[in-house]
Amino acid sequence: MLFQWSQKYSVNVKEIDQQHIRLFDLINDLHDAMKVGKSQRVMADILQGLIDYTDYHFSTEEKYMTLYGFPDYLQHRSEHRNFVAKVQGFHSSFKAGSLSLSLDIMHFLKDWLSNHILVKDKVYGSFFNQKGLE
């Protein structure tokens, strides 16, 4: 397992914590498929699933940010868009055969998500809690 969920990642919003756990699982699924040499198609499908779920998750966060008037919404949304664009680039290059999934990419995914949750998402957790979202 590349990426282990722990309580330190909790933003104290149940719906978002559950989505973060799912993102951890998807990154671990991709890592496991890469380690055992699954087919390009299987890994491309897992990577597409990660992209789709990430988009779903980011839309959840952004929905609450706009609903409650989170002050750093635009910056946070920009980080989301940049991440999605980068991962879509990985996916396109991987499907075209010009990129192979490597430990560097896996560590990028893990590190980006970990740092994003611990630094950026932790800020909105208490903000949302003050608005009554738990």
> How far apart are the C-alpha atoms of 98 and 62, rounded to whole Å?
33
Round to the nearest angstrom and report the end-to-end CA distance of the chain: 29
pLDDT digits (tens, 9 = 90+) for 15-26: 999 999 999 999
pTM value? 0.93
Burial of 78 (0-12, 13-18, 19+ CB in 10 A): exposed
- pLDDT at residue 56, rounded to an integer: 97
Q: Which of 48, 41, 57 has the alpha carbon at shortest distance from 113?
A: 57
Sorted by where each begins, the domain ranges of the chain are 11-130
pLDDT digits (tens, 9 = 90+) for 49-104: 999 999 999 999 999 999 999 999 999 999 999 999 999 988 888 888 887 777 77
Q: Which two tokens stand for residue 39?
A: 């087919």
pLDDT, averaged across the chain: 92
3-state secondary structure 5-65: CCHHHCCCCHHHHHHHHHHHHHHHHHHHHHHCCCCHHHHHHHHHHHHHHHHHHHHHHHHHH
Superfamily of structural domain 11-130: Hemerythrin-like (1.20.120.50)
Which residue matches tokens 């897992």?
46
